[in-house]
Amino acid sequence: MGNITSQQLDLHRFLGLTVCLSTTANPRRLEHYNYTYWTADFAALIVGGHLKHCLIAPQFPMYVSPKELALVPNASERTEADGDAEGVYVDIAIYMPVAQPRDLEDLGALAPQVAGKSLAHFFNEIIPQHLPGLSPRCVRVSGFEAPVLGELKPGPTHHAKGIKTFLSGLNLLLSEGTLQGRGSSTVSFLLGAICDTGRGPPARRGWGDTPGHQEMPRGSGSLLKMTAIGRREKRTRCMVTQSAKQRQKELNEQRTKRVKEQAKQRAKRATGRTEKRDMQHQKLLDALKTSPSVDRTTPLFTDAALNAVHRDETGDDLFESKAPETYFAGSGFMEWSRVLQLGSDLSNRYMAKIQDYIRTFEDREEKRKTEVFFTEEDE
């Protein structure tokens, strides 16, 4: 990731933003001034990731078919005719041209060197030997793969009267970019409860119900003996009953203690939530009172102030805090992230994950090139 956080790229970002947010060079706040800024960041992804097949294109054309999108979520490889299909442009893209070999008859003197060879051999061995005199007409382009598409918008108002005006403009532009991105880039992308329980035999109410005990026959000479046994069993039952009562008393005491402790914890959490809410409310009040910064070396409004107002309005943070390992844990780009500040450590970590995503396209293209060969007939 050295290229993404390099001093040279930091300078490029600074100068790019200087132009984008300029009130003199860009008084109409045209988004085109953002292209150079984003081109550098996309270039950092490619160079830093050692990607060999990717290119960067502003105003990249897309062919969007409503019919196919309605039937197939990922319809980038579907090319059936659709009268309602429209050509659209995304502001910037990282894409790969899908190159195909030409017929050997079209390659003249180069034909013997590539006959029967793969397209991968051509790119890895032949091109380095013959540049810059080798014509790009020796291969043809049959399509594109576009792993990353970007809709760019100009920055929010240069002369915000307050933080709510600034944030409103920022959210509006982000929403527009997201909406446009969905319309064009949909075709391309991005208890266990453990409980230990114990159970013992219940104390019986009468010794006559003791299992195995039989009613004593009348006139039996064993009456005294059985009576003695009965007295012992009665004492045993009393001991069991007393033990059960004591155990129940202990359980009741424990339950009462637990209920009191739970009530205490709930009160503590409630107090904590109240304090947290009061703190957030105070941050909001402070943010709303914040005037645009007149110090030209600092942003108009701090991230913390913008976050406070945004959270009050939406109940959610404006800036992303989730680790990329969590965000990219799913099978694909299922949701839009929160705002990332380019150049920050968190943003660079997200860029690294995007590099990994692009690399899957690169690997697939690399494999395809090893399976396509220069032959007598045009593939």
Task: Report the pLDDT averaged over residues 227-245.
Answer: 55
How far is residue 355's CA from residue 192's CA, in Å, rounded to a whole number? Answer: 36
Domain ranges of the chain: 7-186+319-370, 224-318
Give per-residue pLDDT as tens, 27-58.
Answer: 888 888 888 888 888 888 888 778 889 999 99
Q: Cβ(92)–Cβ(35) under 8 Å?
A: yes
Helices (runs of H) and strands (runs of E) counted in the chain: 11, 3
Cis peptide before 147 (omega within 30 of 0): no
Which of left, alpha, beta for 6 (phi over 0: left; psi -120 to 50: alpha)? Answer: beta
Q: How confident is the model at residue 201 (pLDDT cuts 50, 70, 90)?
A: very low
How far is residue 88's CA from residue 143's CA, in Å, rounded to a whole number? Answer: 16
Task: Report the pLDDT averaged over residues 284-304.
Answer: 81
Task: Report the pLDDT averaged over residues 320-333.
Answer: 74
Q: Output the average pLDDT for the chain.
A: 75
pTM: 0.65
pLDDT at 186 over 80: no
Sheet with 139-150, strands from edge to edge, namely: 55-64, 86-101, 139-150
Residues 6+ apart with CB under 8 A from 299: 293
Residues 6+ apart with CB under 8 A from 197: none
Percentage, residues of the chain above pLDDT 70? 73
Max Cα separation, the chain?
A: 128
Predicted pLDDT of residue 119: 94
How far is residue 286's CA from residue 207's CA, in Å, rounded to a whole number? Answer: 77
Q: Cβ(234)–Cβ(210) under 8 Å?
A: no
CA distances from 330 to 196, 327, 339 (A): 35, 7, 19
Stronger pLDDT, 301 or 72, i.e. the higher one: 301
Give per-residue pLDDT as tens, 54-99.
Answer: 999 999 887 766 665 555 544 445 555 667 666 778 888 899 999 9
Predicted pLDDT of residue 336: 76
Q: How confident is the model at residue 330 (pLDDT cuts 50, 70, 90)?
A: low
pLDDT at 237 over 80: no
Q: How confident is the model at residue 205 (pLDDT cuts 50, 70, 90)?
A: very low
Q: Is 102 helix (H, G, I), strand (E, B) or coil?
A: coil
Stronger pLDDT, 283 or 293, i.e. the higher one: 293
Stronger pLDDT, 233 or 258, i.e. the higher one: 258
Residue 202 CB neighbours (<10 A): 8
pLDDT at 220 over 60: no
Stronger pLDDT, 160 or 2, i.e. the higher one: 160
Give per-residue pLDDT as tens, 148-164.
Answer: 888 888 878 878 888 88
Burial 80-102 (b: 16+ CB within 10 A, else e): eeeeebeeeebbbbbbbbbbbbb
Predicted pLDDT of residue 101: 93
Q: How confident is the model at residue 182 (pLDDT cuts 50, 70, 90)?
A: low
pLDDT at 204 over 50: no
Q: Is 131 helix (H, G, I), strand (E, B) or coil?
A: coil
End-to-end CA distance of the chain: 39
pLDDT at 286 over 60: yes
Predicted pLDDT of residue 227: 41
Burial 257-289 (b: 16+ CB within 10 A, else e): eeeeeeeeeeeeeeeeeeeeeeeeeebbeebee
Predicted pLDDT of residue 1: 41
Q: Is 347 helix (H, G, I), strand (E, B) or coil?
A: helix
Predicted pLDDT of residue 121: 94
Predicted pLDDT of residue 341: 83
Q: Report DSSP state, residue 293.
A: P
pLDDT at 317 over 50: yes
How far is residue 167's CA from residue 354's CA, in Å, rounded to a whole number? Answer: 27
How far is residue 92's CA from residue 180's CA, in Å, rounded to a whole number? Answer: 13
